[in-house]
A and B are shown apart, each in its own frame.
Chain A
């Protein structure tokens, strides 16, 4: 449930759905996100510049001079967006992952923490249908959940300076895929050759908040010969 709406400076509002980070809260966020996106695309709502869902909040930025925050707040309050159907389970995006030791940089750390062996860790990771909570920080980077509880682990104490593009990492109940080479502190368990983000494609990002994904294990050979369309 939408708990409260607050101004962020003079050109943004935040719609706060409470403090819980779980799928049911996030689904409410994504319903409102989809509703705002649709309202902007059909020009029912003008002057909106960006709408950014996260775990438990939707932030809406607008063009001051085109619309005032109060008008957007009224628009949301007078709408029944909670009936929107999310395309969940209709489409599961399959993402290839190679768990080869060359890519699974933190497997030993995870073995120590979970007391599971490599194969068990992989099977716990691959059996999960992941929900896309949000996308961002850098272009196209998805934040996925929820991991099997047994795999929960903290961030690295010292983040790596460089993590390769396509690396798949886990922290606490979340999993992410690095869409750009960047620094990072997540436990890296594999790598995908699948390009999730390409600005030059019509469909810039394969994933959108609210999607469901499943990983598919591939060999190092398949990784090497993988072709992005």
Chain B
């Protein structure tokens, strides 16, 4: 029997993702992958998958899906407001970061993420989706990945590999970092900015604006004064780089960033704080703290222990 979910509402930006598609940036293909790696891995852990298994990522409002087929073991990670609507019409409040069973005709209604941007839905045994160049990540702007490289649409069928027979349900204690301090290292062109602007950047508050998506996060705050050149020779981009275009307002380049770019970069977000950063919603006030490589590497050790 073919087991699948029928998509009744797609949500704002629901895509299949894994840990990324690597080794192709020299051809213009960014790694993409899940925005928040820790939360992504938790949803897989909850259903007993390997942590790199493809999962469904959603942003803010997620999809409404109906199970057509045999019982499935599912988990939703992050901080997510969702309901399970049983076939008989009964509505049960869902609990994120706990696995649960659903049966034929049941629906999962992902209403919203709570004070955060991204959540993940994993299913025991994984989704039946095709790898493209070794990954099931979706890069919508280039139509690369499963589901024809596109977001979920109403009417799509999401097939999965296995129905669920027996086993224990799992729960993982989990919460996002609440603080709004993002640790960064000096960027390649930090010296393009005046002394005062460098000080401003590491001490003043910046607001996350609505112009934020999987490609980048535009910030608003003290204008940064470039005293050298508003452009650089285009060079390869690294996830988490903070570039400053001519208007002096920083943009943090996120998971689906362009592969090369020509704006000077003032700083780079450290790996350990990247997941925390991407969960910040528009309107949030963040501050940057300058650290060096050894601090970043130690912070990474603490970060990987959470997986």
Q: Which residues of A contact B (CB under 8 A)?
A: 6-12, 14, 19, 21, 33, 37, 40, 49-59, 61, 64-65, 68-69, 134-141, 143, 179-180, 197, 199-200, 204-205, 208-209
> B264 contacts the other chain (Cβ, under 8 Å)?
no
Instruction: Select the stretch in B65-73, B217-225, B234-242, B276-284 that faces chain A.
Output: B234-242
A135 and B28 contact, Cβ closer than 8 Å, known pairs A59-B238, A65-B300, A69-B293: yes
Cα A11 to Cα B22 with chains together (Å): 14
Most B CB within 10 A of own CB, among A7, A9, A57, A139: A9
B157 to chain A, nearest CB (A): 21
Contact present for A138 and B142 (CB under 8 Å) = yes
Mark B253-268 against chain A: 1 for CB-CB distance below 8 A, else 0.
0000011110000001
Contact present for A138 and B235 (CB under 8 Å) = no
A6 to chain B, nearest CB (A): 6
Cα A58 to Cα B271 with chains together (Å): 21
Contact present for B271 and A138 (CB under 8 Å) = no
> B296 contacts the other chain (Cβ, under 8 Å)?
yes
A144 to chain B, nearest CB (A): 13
Contact present for A8 and B28 (CB under 8 Å) = no
> B25 contacts the other chain (Cβ, under 8 Å)?
yes
Cα A200 to Cα B132 with chains together (Å): 7
A156 to chain B, nearest CB (A): 16
Cα A149 to Cα B29 with chains together (Å): 31
Contact present for A205 and B31 (CB under 8 Å) = no
Contacting residues, chain B, for A49 (C-beta < 8 A): 20, 22-23, 31
Cα A40 to Cα B210 with chains together (Å): 39
Contacting residues, chain B, for A134 (C-beta < 8 A): 26, 234, 260
Q: Which residues of B contact A (CB under 8 A)?
A: 20, 22-29, 31, 132-133, 141-144, 149, 184-185, 187-188, 233-241, 258-261, 268-271, 293, 296-297, 300, 304
Cα A87 to Cα B146 with chains together (Å): 34
Contacting residues, chain A, for B144 (C-beta < 8 A): 139, 199
Most B CB within 10 A of own CB, among A7, A54, A197: A54
Contact present for B259 and A136 (CB under 8 Å) = yes
Cα A152 to Cα B187 with chains together (Å): 32
Contacting residues, chain A, for B142 (C-beta < 8 A): 138-139, 180, 199
A42 to chain B, nearest CB (A): 13
Contacting residues, chain B, for A40 (C-beta < 8 A): 23
Contacting residues, chain A, for B133 (C-beta < 8 A): 199, 204
Contact present for B258 and A7 (CB under 8 Å) = no
Contact present for A50 and B297 (CB under 8 Å) = no
List 26 contacting pairs A-B, 8 Å CB cutoff, sorted by A: A6-B188, A7-B185, A8-B188, A8-B241, A9-B185, A10-B270, A11-B271, A12-B268, A14-B236, A49-B31, A52-B25, A54-B233, A55-B234, A65-B300, A69-B293, A136-B25, A136-B258, A136-B260, A137-B259, A139-B27, A139-B144, A141-B28, A197-B28, A204-B27, A204-B133, A208-B26
Contact present for A54 and B297 (CB under 8 Å) = no
Cα A19 to Cα B23 with chains together (Å): 26
Q: Contact partner of A135 among B26, B149, B261, B293, CB < 8 A?
A: B26
With A40-B23, A50-B25, A136-B28 known, 13 other A-B pairs at CB within 8 A are: A10-B185, A10-B268, A10-B293, A14-B188, A64-B297, A137-B258, A138-B141, A139-B28, A140-B27, A199-B143, A204-B24, A204-B27, A209-B26
Cα A9 to Cα B170 with chains together (Å): 36
Cα A55 to Cα B31 with chains together (Å): 21
A10 and B271 contact, Cβ closer than 8 Å, known pairs A33-B26, A69-B293, A137-B260: yes
Contact present for B268 and A9 (CB under 8 Å) = yes
Contacting residues, chain A, for B31 (C-beta < 8 A): 49-50
Contact present for A10 and B297 (CB under 8 Å) = yes
Contacting residues, chain A, for B24 (C-beta < 8 A): 50, 204
Q: Contact partner of A9 among B22, B25, B240, B259, CB < 8 A?
A: B240
Cα A52 to Cα B258 with chains together (Å): 12
Cα A137 to Cα B304 with chains together (Å): 31
Contact present for B26 and A52 (CB under 8 Å) = yes
In the complex formed, the residue of B with least CB distance to A49 is B22
Contacting residues, chain B, for A64 (C-beta < 8 A): 271, 297, 300
Contacting residues, chain B, for A21 (C-beta < 8 A): 233
Contact present for A8 and B259 (CB under 8 Å) = no
Contact present for A205 and B260 (CB under 8 Å) = no
Cα A135 to Cα B23 with chains together (Å): 14
Contact present for B234 and A54 (CB under 8 Å) = yes
Contacting residues, chain A, for B25 (C-beta < 8 A): 50-52, 61, 136
Cα A33 to Cα B25 with chains together (Å): 12
Contacting residues, chain A, for B22 (C-beta < 8 A): 49-50
A46 to chain B, nearest CB (A): 12
